């Protein structure tokens, strides 16, 4: 989705994210700065430990293109090189996004991401459930067998609020304009618009990680 046009849900930045072939990839050309990815002017903060290269996927649960990309990203995450520290960051382009940011971080705090992260996408996009507000979210989580009071305690906690704020700060540091999008090592940014597809965006991420690995 485009930061400037929420009514389109997920706009030109990721349109046809898994469908558009890449001419550059077909011709074997390496990704180019300014074309396939952007160099972040002021390095974004990273949380990866020493010796690890941080890769961030920016997403929004209600974005249909994020929903389509999720299985491919999860499969890639599981097979990514061991020196990559891969994490997700939910975006908030406006205040109405914050409840879903808190949902993600509350599930993370409770150790429930493996169980429920993909199910959130399914609930919103396949089952057409409205999970836009805190009470709706809490009711849905309770239906998944989670103690509602304990979830709300995390959802409304200072630590989750802090993580949500940091997530928004990170999206701004990378100047994220649409989701899904990828950040690498606090230095590089790519998305479906730049890479021509989200499948190729993962290839660009691997190229950028190799650049960081080699000290470039």
Q: Is residue 4 part of a domain?
A: no
Which of 15 and 82 is assigned the larger pLDDT? 82
**CATH number assigned to the domain comprising residue 187:** 3.40.30.10
Q: How confident is the prediction for the chain on average, in pLDDT?
A: 90
How far apart (Å, rounded) are the C-alpha atoms in residues 164 and 79? 27
17-21, 123-127, 138-142, 199-203, range with the lowest pLDDT: 17-21
> What percentage of the chain carries pLDDT values higher than 70?
87
Residue 165 belongs to domain spanning: 47-213
For residue 29, the model assigns a pLDDT of 84
Place of tokens 């808190």: 102
Does the structure show a pLDDT above 90 at 196? Answer: yes
How far apart (Å, rounded) are the C-alpha atoms in residues 204 and 190? 8
Q: Is residue 123 part of a domain?
A: yes
Q: Is residue 33 part of a domain?
A: no
How many CB atoms are closer than 10 A to CB 102? 23
How far apart (Å, rounded) are the C-alpha atoms in residues 192 and 171? 16
Burial of 193 (0-12, 13-18, 19+ CB in 10 A): buried
Does the structure show a pLDDT above 80 at 99? Answer: yes
For residue 2, the model assigns a pLDDT of 54
* Chain segment 35-74, per-residue pLDDT in tens: 999 999 999 999 999 999 999 999 999 999 999 999 999 9
Number of domains in the chain: 1
Measured CA to CA in angstroms, residue 171 lies from 10, 100, 134 at distances of 16, 15, 22
How far apart (Å, rounded) are the C-alpha atoms in residues 185 and 65? 24
Could you tell me the pLDDT band of residue 216, with boundaries at 50, 70 and 90?
confident
Interval 103-110 mean pLDDT: 98
Q: Is residue 122 part of a domain?
A: yes
Q: Is residue 19 part of a domain?
A: no
Q: Is residue 71 part of a domain?
A: yes
CB-based contacts of 190: which residues, under 8 Å, 6+ apart?
Answer: 31, 36, 37, 38, 181, 182, 184, 201, 204, 205, 208
**Orientation of helix 98-109 relative to helix 113-121, angle to 10°:** 150
Q: Is residue 36 part of a domain?
A: no
Q: Is residue 1 part of a domain?
A: no
How far apart (Å, rounded) are the C-alpha atoms in residues 53 and 184? 7
For residue 3, the model assigns a pLDDT of 56
């Amino acid at each position: 989705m485009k930061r400037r046009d929420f009514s389109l849900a997920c706009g030109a930045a990721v349109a046809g994210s898994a469908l558009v072939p890449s001419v550059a990839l077909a011709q074997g050309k390496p990704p180019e700065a300014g074309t396939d990815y952007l160099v972040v002017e002021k390095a974004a903060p990273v949380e990866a430990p020493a010796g690890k290269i941080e890769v961030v996927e920016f997403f929004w649960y209600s974005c249909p293109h994020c929903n389509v990309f999720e299985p491919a990203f999860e499969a890639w995450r599981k097979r990514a090189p061991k020196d990559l520290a891969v994490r997700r960051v939910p975006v908030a382009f406006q205040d109405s996004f914050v409840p879903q940011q808190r949902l993600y971080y509350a599930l993370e705090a409770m150790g429930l991401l493996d169980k429920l992260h993909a199910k959130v996408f399914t609930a919103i996009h396949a089952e057409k459930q409205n999970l836009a507000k805190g009470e709706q979210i809490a009711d849905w989580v309770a239906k998944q067998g989670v103690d509602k009071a304990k979830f709300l305690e995390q959802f409304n906690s200072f630590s989750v609020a802090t993580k949500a704020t940091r997530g928004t700060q990170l999206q701004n540091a990378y100047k994220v304009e649409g989701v899904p999008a990828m950040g690498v090592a606090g230095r590089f940014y790519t998305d479906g618009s730049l890479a021509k597809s989200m499948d190729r965006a993962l290839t660009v991420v691997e190229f950028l990680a190799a650049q960081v690995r080699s000290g470039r």
